[in-house]
Amino acid sequence: MAGEQIRLLVVEDVPQVASHMRALLQAQSQIKILDVITSGDRAVGAVSEYKPDVVIVDALLQGRTSGQQVAQGIREAEPAVGVVMVTVPQNPVSEDPSRGVDAILKMPFSGFDLTTIVRKTYEERAVEASRAGSMMVTFFSPKGGVGRTTLAYNLAVALGSAGHRVCLVDGSLQFSDLRGLLRVPAVAPSMVNLPTDRIRESDVADVAWKDPSGIDILLAPPRVEMAEMVTVRDVEKALSILRQLYEFVIVDTRAALSEDVLVFLDASDLILQVLTYDSMAIRGLVMAGEAFDAIGYPPTKLATVLNRADSAGGFNRADVEAAIGRAIDYEVVSDGHLVQAANNEGVPFVSGSPDAPISRGVREMAESLSAHLRQRAPALARR
């Protein structure tokens, strides 16, 4: 984004404030004021006409349409446009992107204050717009043996079979669970082979494993000690470029809340928590939920998958939901013979046995995620 000119629209009914902004921005070339709109009633229409990157709105607009109403209207009409609310200390305003307020600029402000907040808002909204057409889903469980890796692989294949561009990421950096499941050769490239400075699309294409099912897989290192060669920053850069290339990025993690796992969870749009009718798995998920609350993950970032849902073992669904304090979002039944045979051959059961109840459960999950992505995509299309 460096070198791009930021198109700025100002909604301000006080001429002195508008003139002050023009004067502060006159000496630089990165931010261009398209126009100053003096009435809140005309603001949303002007945004549709000028197509700005950022809009500055006075919180104290006079007239029938308030500054808050303008911000809300802009967010609904043009979700990718950043909105900065100008106010005074006596009239505090809170940031609330859902209502169109991405940042607050308090008067009096300097040229540095103005340019910094406009650039920051522009960059943040650009990132959000680039993510609108993609979805990152991470499978997580604090207990091993619940079928997390198998579900991640089969969900990725189900999404690919539905026509989506999918990349499956092996987030088990030490033991590379997907390498074991798919019997990938040790010489196959992994995250370690990505550049450490600037990752490009061509780099990902060279490193991604082309699975026979049609999806791409970014593998973990082939040996345990090589996991230390993959830094948090490396993962963040890789995920950023993957979001630009694929509609779905599906991540399989290991059973831990360590730094390497948290980098995947933080970047995710949705965390699929996998559990079974197992007291240890249930207890682990309760503890993880407490950690997620402390981190600040919103409830909408989490969903729960009950695997082997027909193997109750003394529990029922209501017992589990009461224990974890949330509803079960998805259920997948058990089929030990089919799963073991498919895993031993390194093939997805969703395509090998599409009519099996377990396959239908995974496809229902895929259809739900596809619908969620379609709801996100219009923001990018309008932009």
Q: Record the tokens describing residue 172, joined without a space.
A: 């088990």
pLDDT at 303 over 70: yes
**By C-alpha distance, which of 37, 39, 40, 41 is closest to 50?**
37
In 109-135, which positions are buried (b, 16+ CB within 10 angstroms) versus exposed (e)? eeeeebbebbbebbbebbebbebbbbb
**By C-alpha distance, which of 191, 298, 302 is closest to 241?**
191
DSSP code at position 178: H
Q: Is the pLDDT higher at 200 or at 158?
A: 158
pLDDT at 351 over 80: yes
Q: What is the pLDDT of residue 22?
A: 94
pLDDT at 131 over 70: no
pLDDT at 381 over 50: no
Report the C-alpha gap between 319 and 128 in whole angstroms.
38
pLDDT at 343 over 70: yes
The pLDDT confidence band at residue 383, using thresholds 50, 70 and 90, is very low
Domain ranges, ordered by start, for the chain: 6-130, 134-373
The pLDDT confidence band at residue 227, using thresholds 50, 70 and 90, is very high
User: Would 6-130 and 134-373 be classified into the same CATH topology?
Assistant: yes
CA 363 from chain center: how many Å? 21
Which residue spans within the chain are E strands per DSSP? 6-11, 31-37, 54-58, 82-87, 103-106, 135-140, 166-170, 209-210, 216-218, 248-252, 270-275, 302-307, 330-332
What is the residue-wise DSSP string for 193-240?
GS-SS---HHHHHHHSEE-TTS-EEEPPPSSGGGGGGS-HHHHHHHHH
Calculate what percentage of the chain has a pLDDT beyond 70.
95
Q: What is the pLDDT of residue 240?
A: 84
- Domain 134-373, CATH among 3.90.226.10, 3.90.1300.10, 3.40.50.880, 3.40.50.300: 3.40.50.300
Q: What is the pLDDT of residue 1?
A: 45
Q: What is the pLDDT of residue 3?
A: 52
Q: What is the mean pLDDT of residues 186-203?
A: 85
Q: In whole numbers, what is the pLDDT of the chain averaged over residues?
A: 91
Report the CATH architecture of 6-130: 3-Layer(aba) Sandwich (3.40)
pLDDT at 90 over 60: yes
pLDDT tens digits, one per residue of 19-47: 999 999 998 889 999 999 999 999 999 99
Q: What is the mean pLDDT of residues 310-318?
A: 88
Q: What is the pTM of this model?
A: 0.71
Report the C-alpha gap between 332 and 311 in whole angstroms.
10
Q: How far is CA 166 from CA 206, 242, 250, 345, 369, in A?
A: 16, 9, 7, 22, 12
Contact 300, 271 (CB under 8 A): no
Q: What is the mean pLDDT of residues 80-89?
A: 92
Q: Which of 27-31, 156-160, 295-299, 371-375 has the highest mean pLDDT?
A: 156-160
